[in-house]
Structure 1
Amino acid sequence: MQHNSHAVVIGGSLSGLLMSRVLANHFDRVTVIERDIYPDEPAPRKGVPHSRFPHTLMLRGQQILEQLFPGLKSELLDKGAIELDSIKDVAFLTPNGWAAQRDSELALLAFSRDLLDWSIRRRLAAFSQVQFLTGASVTELLTDPKRQKILGVSLHQHKKFNPESNPESNPESKSELNFESNSESNQNLYADLVVDASGKASHTPQWLRKLGYEAPPETEINAFVGYVARIYQPPPDWDVNWKMVFMPTAPPQQIRGGAIFPIEGDRDNPHQCRWIVSLVGGDRDYPPTDDAGFLAFARSLPSPVLAEAIERATPLTPPYAYYGNENRQHYYEQSPLPARLVVVGHAACLLNPTYGQAMTVAALEAMTLDQFLRHQAIDKLDQQTHALQKQLAKAHQEAWTAAISIDYRYHSTQGKPINAATRFTNWYWDQLLELIVDRASIHHTFLEVLHLLKPSSVLLQPSIFGQILAHSFSKRWQRFTSPSESAISTR
């Protein structure tokens, strides 16, 4: 009798959804286990507390999602998502002033996170081999007697058994999902591969200890960054030369920042743009959540543009706060693990979300998994899952390095000591931000790196490195040759 291959994905947020889409290319059945009950329309849910905050899909992420779900971009635009030029349409305030706005081919896609997740879930529902098991939590990993490979998961069903599958086909039966009841409320679900995409609340370290394995090494870099956001209706007569405002923090001197992100309108008027306005503070300088405090924080930013905009706009929601913005990496690729288990997304590498690259990193991980499975037979996973975990770790390394390099700049950052390489990166970053104000080619390359289209190493190419050195030397020479303030005062 032929064995039907089965993969289980723990967690049905974006990372889990993208992994499920890729696994559907290679497995006969894919089961997504999600603790929440999904809403019937784009709406916040408990398992994605940061969905109320700005989300943009970088260009590399757009390319991957369009490859996985052809026509998704058009569908999002039809639902009111906003496409904008990363240079022309963005008012970007650097520590050295506003960056010049000019045409580019670097398109951003702005929308609510709820719209993206809902759209992808609907697309996945069209795959007959993908099934959603909602209202359920995994309680432990199942192994062979020698505890050398994972055979599935044990799960607790919070609500009545509720497999959600293609609404146009007959749901698979309980037996077809390879369930084995081990108590009144717990069930065993067997699989050939288990993917933990359960996010920062992942229990894999505890499950591994229970099986006799050591938890993987871990690094946490916490700059105590928090942000508060609320949705506004723009004023009807609003006429400006930007679609988005981006005033990032610039630690250690400037620890407050803010942004205005356009998103789709409400369900009745999706193409009537709304704004998500987000305020951010590091070093525990968290933005307030009361109306007066929110506006006062906005007024304290280096430019009045954001505060003036929201004073004329109409608030549609109260301010929402989110303070869990640390960076944390579990080095599963460095640890001996049981076979047939991989850990992805925030369960492996949690990134400070204020830098906007996490969704694209999830897409890169999904493509890494797809490429791996194209060259590895499923029946060989016992020997290959550790190699897969190493490849997955490479997918988030660029974004991890960028995030911690910035967060190290805050005064109160907790984590391993800063090293010479990070100091150089921070110095180099400062010079870049000064040059992108009026140097189009550097600004363009800088954004290509942020969009994860190119590795950060391109910013060290001779044409840019030479300009950095010349700029730094020029500043030093001016300070050396210019009379000091004290000398001027005594004349």
Structure 2
Amino acid sequence: MSHLKIANDTERQQAVVIGGSIAGLLAARVLTNHFDQVTIVERDRFPEKPEPRQGVPQSHQLHVLLTQGQRILEQLFPGLTEELAEIGAESVDWTADYQWLFLGGWGPRFPSGITTRTCTRNLIEARIRQRLATYNSIEFLEAGTVTGLLTNQGNTTVTGVRVRESDGTEVELPAQFVVDASGRYSKTPQWLQGLGYETPQKTTVNSFLGYASRWYQSLSREPLDYKVLYLMPKAPHKPRGGVIYRVENNRWIVALIGVGRDYPPTDEAGFLGFAHSLHSPEVYEAIKDAQPISPIYSYRRTENRLLHYEKLSRFPENFGVVGDAVCAFNPVYGQGMTVAALGALTLDQCLKQHFQRRSNQELTGLGRHFQKQLSKVNTVPWLMATGDDFRWSTTEGGKPSSITRLLHWYLDQVMLVSGESTEVYKVLIEVIHFLKPPTAFLQPSILAQVLRQVMNGHGNTDVVSKSFRTS
């Protein structure tokens, strides 16, 4: 699977993807709809089993595939959801099986049909990779580091990539289209600068959130009446939270969360002490006598970061950038894999439209058009993630505008109402899972309930303080 074949004919047939994580794998999948050969270049060697790997430092941490993301994966890989079930991924109804302590108190529990299979990111990535390995048009180059882009004489068009293989050999891999899916550590800004282009403007919003996570074979008290539990941090004074998440093979991931550099410890006593300090005892009670099967893993690279490729006045032809290489989110919101899936669909649509408009196979204008379309896809999740991070006074990267503060107030009212209304709570979960846009909060029935709450004098968010035990 790691053998490299150099294509002799690049007229239309070859595409290259830099990076073999979720965004890169999904980009490769849609590229097979338009190119005869797709090569995925990954600096790691892929594990034989669904295990963490060095190139994904957050792979030990909890990852959530939202319902919209699961639907897209099923569209791209029919039968994948059932495969995950057969391997042991639990079915979770995100209202019936989800115990959430948030601004509205404990979320109501009822069946909604908003479901996913909860499992590790490692399992999802491994199953997608195994599916792609069955495609004759897909080739993997493992332990290969892309050291630069190949271009034409005027540097106006990308014509492939330069790769350093595991033995140190440098090879040139020609391609008609190249996609950078190499994540937060993407070299594209430096490559563009070296080719005479501007580097993209970068926006960073950092709430200085950190995780400490541990895997368990069993918890202190089972069976539990939930499959996912989330004690949500509450701005401005309760920066700590915790998650219990069921994954395949009857295992659990427990993640402790701290905002504003209130990072959870990674030693045994500190981890338990942090759990005990949370505003409700569920996490501590679940792990105090539990059976851990892993060390405690820390992760603190959680800033939201957006590179504005869509604003560049010049952009090389036959090139695109996807996933975290463009837009990386604070992972506490669980958006990353789903936004990567939406980006893959956007790439597919842009390619379809481009080839429908042109009788020949040249790709002039495709890259810039795709980056502009991708920026539209990223806008809503970006505003959702950064808007929530701006609730914390310790957040760096700007200050909330008066409009953002107004939206905070209105969303607070929606969350307060949703603690009592299954109708509003379901809409809240649908927005979180990208099944409805945030404008759904403005529908008349929700507006009426919010107005009634405020008119009755119950709009002060302090009314939920009774749901939170003082730390």
Shift of residue 141, structure 1, vs aligned partner: 1.1
Counterpart position of 1:296: 273
Change (3 A) 1:186 1:2: closer
> Does residue 140 of structure 2 align to residue 158 of structure 1?
no
- Is the 2:67–2:435 Cα contact (8 Å) retained in structure 1? yes
Within the candidate set 338, 349, 352, 1:371 is matched to: 349
> Does residue 59 of structure 2 align to residue 43 of structure 1?
no
Shift of residue 281, structure 1, vs aligned partner: 0.5
| SS of match in other structure, 1:33 | strand
Counterpart position of 2:338: 360
| SS of match in other structure, 1:116 | helix
Shift of residue 9, structure 1, vs aligned partner: 0.4
| SS of match in other structure, 1:434 | helix
> Does residue 443 of structure 2 align to residue 470 of structure 1?
no
Distance in 2, matches of 1:16 and 1:384, equals: 18
> Does residue 215 of structure 2 align to residue 207 of structure 1?
no
Query: Which consecutive residues of structure 1, in runs of 5 or more, have no partner in the other structure?
Result: 160-183, 266-272, 480-491
> Does residue 283 of structure 2 align to residue 283 of structure 1?
no
Change (3 A) 1:436 1:211: same
**Which has the greater radius of gyration?**
1
Shift of residue 476, structure 1, vs aligned partner: 6.5
Shift of residue 433, structure 1, vs aligned partner: 1.9
- Is the 2:424–2:446 Cα contact (8 Å) retained in structure 1? yes
Amino acid in structure 2 at the alignment position of 1:77: A
| SS of match in other structure, 2:45 | coil
Moved more, 377-386 or 60-69: 377-386
- Is the 1:56–1:109 Cα contact (8 Å) retained in structure 2? no
Change (3 A) 1:2 1:60: closer
> Does residue 112 of structure 2 align to residue 104 of structure 1?
yes
| SS of match in other structure, 1:338 | coil
Within the candidate set 405, 412, 416, 1:434 is matched to: 416
Counterpart position of 2:371: 389
Shift of residue 429, structure 1, vs aligned partner: 2.1
Shift of residue 395, structure 1, vs aligned partner: 1.6
Change (3 A) 1:89 1:187: same
The correspondence of residues 240-255 of structure 1 with structure 2, limited to 5 A, is 240-255=224-239
Distance in 2, matches of 1:314 and 1:114, equals: 21
Distance in 1, matches of 2:321 and 2:33, equals: 19
Distance in 1, matches of 2:169 and 2:326, equals: 29
Within the candidate set 52, 56, 65, 2:60 is matched to: 52
- Is the 1:407–1:413 Cα contact (8 Å) retained in structure 2? yes
| SS of match in other structure, 1:56 | coil
RMSD of Structure 2 on Structure 1 (CA)? 1.7
> Does residue 436 of structure 2 align to residue 454 of structure 1?
yes
* 1:30-71 superposed Cα distances (whole Å, 9 cap, x missing partner): 010100000011111011111111122111111110111111
Counterpart position of 2:143: 135
| SS of match in other structure, 2:288 | helix
- Is the 2:220–2:289 Cα contact (8 Å) retained in structure 1? no
Distance in 1, matches of 2:153 and 2:216, equals: 57
Change (3 A) 1:374 1:433: same
Counterpart position of 2:36: 28
Within the candidate set 215, 225, 231, 2:215 is matched to: 231
Within the candidate set 317, 320, 329, 1:342 is matched to: 320
> Does residue 388 of structure 2 align to residue 406 of structure 1?
yes
* 1:410-439 superposed Cα distances (whole Å, 9 cap, x missing partner): 121110232122112211221122111110
Counterpart position of 2:466: none
> Does residue 126 of structure 2 align to residue 118 of structure 1?
yes
Amino acid in structure 1 at the alignment position of 2:101: L
User: Would you say how many aligned residue pairs link Structure 1 and Structure 2?
Assistant: 448
- Is the 2:65–2:116 Cα contact (8 Å) retained in structure 1? yes
Distance in 2, matches of 1:235 and 1:329, equals: 38
Counterpart position of 2:403: 421
What's the TM-score, normalizing by structure 2?
0.92
- Is the 1:4–1:29 Cα contact (8 Å) retained in structure 2? no
* 1:258-291 superposed Cα distances (whole Å, 9 cap, x missing partner): 00000112xxxxxxx1110000001000000001
Amino acid in structure 2 at the alignment position of 1:187: V
Shift of residue 121, structure 1, vs aligned partner: 0.5
Distance in 2, matches of 1:127 and 1:20, equals: 11
Amino acid in structure 2 at the alignment position of 1:230: R
Distance in 2, matches of 1:477 and 1:422, equals: 18
- Is the 2:149–2:191 Cα contact (8 Å) retained in structure 1? yes
Distance in 2, matches of 1:320 and 1:237, equals: 23
Distance in 2, matches of 1:47 and 1:14, equals: 12
Query: Which consecutive residues of structure 2, in runs of 5 or more, have no partner in the other structure?
Result: 1-8, 462-471
